[in-house]
Amino acid sequence: MPVSHQLSQRAHFSGPQPISELMRLALVRPELISLAAGFVDQETLPVEATREALQSVLADIPRGRAALQYGTNAGYAPLREAVLARFLAADGDQAGPLPSVDQVILTAGSNQLLHLLGDVLLDPGDLVICAAPTYFVFLGMLASVGARSVGVAIDEQGMIGEALDEELARRHEAGELARVKAIYVTSYFENPSTVTLSLERRAELVEIAKRWSRQATIYVIDDAAYRPLRYTGPDLPSLRSFDTTGDTVIVAETFSKSFSPGVRVGWGILPTELVGPVAALKGNIDFGSPHLNQHLMAAVLERGLFEPHVAALQKSYAKKLAAMLDALDEYLAGIPGVRWRRPTGGLYVWLELPDGLDAGPSGTLIQHAMDEGVIYVPGEYCYPAEGEPRRVNTIRLSFGVQSPENIRRGIAALGKAIRAA
Ligand SMILES: Cc1ncc(COP(=O)(O)O)c(C=O)c1O
C-alpha cells in the first residue's frame, strides 16, 4: 500500500522564495546581466582581513580551541559587548533605559533573528504591519508561520505615520488589534524602496506603536541591515533610541552587508521580556550560532579591520550607485511615467514604471528584458498580502554585484526593454 507523505501545516504555509527562479536563471544563463540578486560585491569581499583575523584567533592555541568548541546560546560575550558598545556609540542618547549586554543575542545572520521573532511572536492569523513595499524574504517568513502581512504606504520619509495610525484604527474597529503583533521597518535604505526613515518618523512610529499597545505590546522590529552602507549624509539614530521604556523596539543588525554574508553573523538587541523566549527557542534549535565565526568577527573588530573595510565598501558602492543613476538618467529619463529615487545608501534602486506596464513574472516586460540580456526583481514580490495594494509596475534593481560598465549595459538594455514593452 502506498504510504502518504504527510507534511506539517507549517510546511504547507511555506512556498518557495519568489526570486529563486531568477537566481536559477542567472546561473543557467550567465550572459544575462543580473540586476536582481541583492548579493554583496564579490570583488570587495574581505579575504585578507578575514585571514588576518582568523590567524589571530588560531595562533593562540587556547583561544583557537575555545573558538572551535561549542559556544553559548546567546553567543560569544566579547562580541556581544562589542556590538552593543558600537550600537550605543552610533546612536548617542537613548530616550529610555540603556540596553544591557544580556539583551544582545548573536544569530546566524539577521534572518535567523527575524525567524526566531516570527516563531516567538506569531500564531497563524496574527498580523504584522510592514511598509509597502518591503523586504520580500521577511514576507516569506511571515507566510511560513501562517501570519498575515499588512502593507502601509510610504513616502520620501518612509512609512507614513498617519497611514499606520489609520491601519491600526481599522484593525481596532474590526476587533483585530490584539492580533497585531509587530510593525516591521527597514529604517535605513529600505530594501527595496531605498527610503530612509526620517528622524521625525522614527519618533512618530515608536509613539504610535506604544499608543496602540492597548491589550498587548505591538513591537517595532527595526531591521538595520544596511545602516553601515551610507554613501552621503550623516547617520541617524535607531528607532530604539526613541523607545522611552525600552520594551517596544527590537533591533536587528548584521555583518552580512558590511563585512561578509558568508560568515553569517547577525544580532538582535531585544526588549527584556523577549530575551527568555527567544533564547529558549534558539536553545532548542542550535544552542548557539557558529562560534568560530563569532570569534572571527570579534577579532575583526578588535584588530581595527572593520572600519577600513566599511570605508572601502562605501567608496566602491558609491561609484556603482553613481554609475546606475547616470545610466538611468541617460537611458530612461526620456520615457514618460518612469521614475526612481536617488538613494544615499544601500544596494538598490527602486523603479516605478508607467501605469499599466506589468513588470511581474508573467507580464510583458520581463521577457523583453531577458531578450535584451538583463534581469531584475519584479517589485510585486515586495508587497504585503493585505493593505496597500500591490503595484505590478515596479522593479527593484541591485547595483552591488555588477561592475559599473555592466550596470551601464544592463540599464541600457532595460531602457530598450521598457520601450519595447
Ligand atoms: C532588509 C534585510 N534584512 C535582513 C537581511 C538578511 O541578512 P542576513 O541574514 O544575511 O544577516 C537582508 C539581506 O538581504 C535584508 O535585505
| Domain presence at residue 2 | no
Residues in Cβ contact with 238 at an 8 Å cutoff, skipping those fewer than 6 apart: 87, 90, 91, 187, 202, 222, 224, 227, 249, 251
Tens of pLDDT, residue by residue over 260-307, are 999 999 999 999 999 999 999 999 999 999 999 999 999 999 999 999
Write down which residue in 271, 302, 333 finishes a domain: 302
Look at ligand 1, atom 14, and give the residue with the nearest C-alpha. Answer: 38
Q: Band the pLDDT of 194: cuts 50, 70, 90.
A: very high
Pairing of strands 180-185, 33-34: unpaired
Distance CA(299)–CA(294), nearest Å, equals: 9
Total domains in the fold of the chain: 2
pLDDT of residue 12: 85
320 CA from centroid of ligand 1 (Å): 20
Cα 176 vs. chain centroid, distance in angstroms? 27
104 CA from centroid of ligand 1 (Å): 18
Distance CA(186)–CA(201), nearest Å, equals: 13
| Domain presence at residue 52 | no
Q: Which residues constitute the domain of residue 127?
A: 71-302
Q: How many CB atoms lie within 10 A of CB 217?
A: 19
Tens of pLDDT, residue by residue over 144-159, are 999 999 999 999 999 9
241 and 175 in one domain? yes
With 0.75 as the threshold, say if the pTM is over it: yes
141 and 190 in one domain? yes
142 CA from centroid of ligand 1 (Å): 15
Sign of CA dihedral 407, 411, 414, 420: negative
For the cut 90, the answer to whether the pLDDT of residue 6 exceeds it is no
pLDDT of residue 24: 78
196 and 248 in one domain? yes
pLDDT, average across residues 53-69: 97
Atom of ligand 1 nearest to the CA of 186: 1
Atom of ligand 1 nearest to the CA of 264: 10
| Domain presence at residue 59 | no
Cα→Cα distances 241→103, 211, 237, Å: 15, 17, 6
297 CA from centroid of ligand 1 (Å): 17
Q: Shortest CA distance to 36 belongs to which of 374, 420, 408?
A: 374
Please choose from 107, 195, 257, 347 the residue to mutate so as to test ligand 1's pocket, defined by most ligand atoms within 8 A of CB. Answer: 257
361 and 380 in one domain? yes
| Domain presence at residue 30 | yes
To the nearest 10 degrees (0 to 180), the angle between helices 291-302 and 77-91 is 50
pLDDT of residue 9: 85
Please choose from 188, 223, 267 the residue to mutate so as to test ligand 1's pocket, defined by most ligand atoms within 8 A of CB. Answer: 223
For the cut 90, the answer to whether the pLDDT of residue 182 exceeds it is yes
Cα→Cα distances 161→1, 132, 152, 167, 173, Å: 59, 13, 9, 10, 18
294 and 153 in one domain? yes
Q: In what order do the strands lie in the sheet with 148-152?
A: 104-107, 266-269, 249-254, 219-223, 180-185, 127-131, 148-152, 386-387
250 and 348 in one domain? no
For the cut 70, the answer to whether the pLDDT of residue 359 exceeds it is yes
Look at ligand 1, atom 8, and give the residue with the nearest C-alpha. Answer: 109
With H, G, I as helix, E, B as strand and everything else as coil, classify residue 330.
helix
Distance CA(104)–CA(192), nearest Å, equals: 27
Distance CA(202)–CA(92), nearest Å, equals: 15
83 and 211 in one domain? yes
pLDDT of residue 8: 86
77 CA from centroid of ligand 1 (Å): 23
Q: Which residues lie with the beta carbon below 6 Å from any ligand 1 atom?
A: 38, 109-111, 135, 186, 191, 223, 225, 254, 256, 261, 266
The residue count of the chain comes to 421
| Domain presence at residue 212 | yes
Atom of ligand 1 nearest to the CA of 255: 11
Please choose from 19, 189, 226, 254 the residue to mutate so as to test ligand 1's pocket, defined by most ligand atoms within 8 A of CB. Answer: 254
pLDDT, average across residues 159-182: 97
Residues in Cβ contact with 348 at an 8 Å cutoff, skipping those fewer than 6 apart: 38, 189, 191, 192, 194, 396, 397, 398, 399
The CATH number given to whatever domain includes residue 394 is: 3.90.1150.10
Please choose from 41, 114, 135 the residue to mutate so as to test ligand 1's pocket, defined by most ligand atoms within 8 A of CB. Answer: 135
| Domain presence at residue 57 | no
59 CA from centroid of ligand 1 (Å): 32
225 and 115 in one domain? yes
**For residue 192, cis peptide bond before it (omega within 30 degrees of 0):** yes
147 and 89 in one domain? yes
401 and 312 in one domain? yes
Write down which residue in 287, 302, 317 finishes a domain: 302
Mean pLDDT of the chain: 95
| Domain presence at residue 1 | no
225 CA from centroid of ligand 1 (Å): 6
Q: How many CB atoms lie within 10 A of CB 206?
A: 24
278 and 163 in one domain? yes
Tens of pLDDT, residue by residue over 101-153, are 999 999 999 999 999 999 999 999 999 999 999 999 999 999 999 999 999 99
110 CA from centroid of ligand 1 (Å): 6
Atom of ligand 1 nearest to the CA of 108: 9
Look at ligand 1, atom 2, and give the residue with the nearest C-alpha. Answer: 225
Residues in Cβ contact with 244 at an 8 Å cutoff, skipping those fewer than 6 apart: 95, 96, 210
Distance CA(146)–CA(122), nearest Å, equals: 8
| Domain presence at residue 93 | yes
Distance CA(133)–CA(277), nearest Å, equals: 30
Distance CA(110)–CA(270), nearest Å, equals: 13
Q: In what order do the strands lie in the sheet with 339-340?
A: 339-340, 348-352, 394-398, 377-378
Atom of ligand 1 nearest to the CA of 110: 11
337 CA from centroid of ligand 1 (Å): 31
pLDDT, average across residues 332-341: 94
The CATH number given to whatever domain includes residue 281 is: 3.40.640.10
Look at ligand 1, atom 15, and give the residue with the nearest C-alpha. Answer: 225
Cα→Cα distances 183→102, 113, 211, Å: 24, 15, 13
325 CA from centroid of ligand 1 (Å): 23
254 and 320 in one domain? no
Q: Band the pLDDT of 1: cuts 50, 70, 90.
A: low
Distance CA(234)–CA(219), nearest Å, equals: 27
Distance CA(158)–CA(296), nearest Å, equals: 35
H or E element at residue 84: helix 77-91
Write down which residue in 270, 286, 302 finishes a domain: 302
